[in-house]
Structure 1
Amino acid sequence: MGRGADVQPGHLLARGVCRHLASHGFAVIEEFVPDRGLRVDVMALGPKGEIWIVECKSSRVDFQSDQKWEGYLDWCDRYFWAVDLEFPSELLPIETGLIIADGYDAEIVRMAPEDKLASARRSTLVRKFAMHAARRLHALRDPEAMLSAWA
């Protein structure tokens, strides 16, 4: 089997979302932890410093089992759901953004309303985003060094 054979549907959605946002100048991180107890599927840092969160839902059950999404609203300027074409998008709250995605690209169908973060929280998130991205890059370039750093 090929390397991508075990990729989950939500990961494919995230990949398409990340590709799309990157093509618009965003830096993106998958599975980012903005605060203890929270893990977002995609966090994106825009060219003007805006912070977006995108939660990828591959099925009705996946969406209905997500009880924490409203807690993510305090950690972004805009909040989106990313789903595929078959997802029943009428289930998604209308006051959030909507992205239709697949494993290769995405399209923003409904722009999320903007609710700007407080400057102190934005500053903290941008630093955390930068540290997280740098550590992931370092781990890719030198996996053994990262293992010893956390030992």
Structure 2
Amino acid sequence: MINPAPIDPLPRRSAEICRGTLRLMSQLGYYGLTEMTLANHRRADIAAIGPGGDIWMIEIKSSIQDFRSDTKWREYMDFCDRLSFAVGDDFPQELIPPDAGLIIADAFYGAIIREAPETRLAPARRKAVTLRFARLGAARLTVAADAGWTPGDDGLTSPIK
């Protein structure tokens, strides 16, 4: 019997950190989308909008290697009011730069260890990011609503007679 290839734990780890972070954010009144492409063509791991319209970007790091190989995170700062890193509980916290917040998360929940410094967006930029967020969310809901749809016998999809 051939042994199956080992499963890479990092994508799963990232997914777990993402899930816990999104759950934390919703408890704080922020609702997020994953993998949101910004106007500068960078892609935020999580973009979340709070009850007052403030925008929080969260960069997920599943390992030290992942953190050290990605220096794009500063390019997200022009598109949010605050930026945080979300990592697992075994990540060395001292690596997280002081100009970003720190969230520790697992698959079930997260905790803010260090608040993210706030820099308010200009109104025009806020509107542009909010519109991008809304359109991405609506597009994803449209795809989800259409998935698996088939004509039924409910009379709503029958041809006109």
* Range into which the TM-score falls when normalised by the shorter chain: 0.7 to 0.9
Distance (whole Å) between structure 2 residues aligned to residue 74 and residue 27 of structure 1: 20
1:6 to partner: Cα distance: 9.7
Question: Partner of 2:62 in structure 1?
Answer: 58
Alignment of 1:75 onto 2:83: no
1:9 to partner: Cα distance: 1.1
Distance (whole Å) between structure 2 residues aligned to residue 125 and residue 80 of structure 1: 17
Q: 1:7 to 1:70 in 2, by over 3 A?
A: closer
Show the 5 A alignment for 1:1-151.
8-143=12-147
Number of aligned pairs?
141
Distance (whole Å) between structure 2 residues aligned to residue 118 and residue 27 of structure 1: 21
SS of the residue aligned with 2:107?
coil
Amino acid paired to 1:100: I
Distance (whole Å) between structure 2 residues aligned to residue 81 and residue 6 of structure 1: 16
The answer for unaligned runs of 5 or more in structure 2 is 1-8, 150-161
Superposition TM-score, scaled by structure 2 size:
0.83
RMSD (Å), alpha carbons? 1.8
SS of the residue aligned with 1:8?
helix
Superposition TM-score, scaled by structure 1 size:
0.88
Amino acid paired to 1:107: A
Whether the 8 Å contact between 2:80 and 2:120 is mirrored in structure 1 is yes
More displaced, 34-43 or 70-79? 34-43
1:37 to partner: Cα distance: 2.5
Whether the 8 Å contact between 2:58 and 2:83 is mirrored in structure 1 is yes
1:89 to partner: Cα distance: 1.2
Distance (whole Å) between structure 1 residues aligned to residue 84 and residue 10 of structure 2: 25
The answer for unaligned runs of 5 or more in structure 1 is 146-151
Identity %: 40
Instruction: Choose between structure 1 and 2: higher helix proportion.
Output: 1
SS of the residue aligned with 1:69?
helix
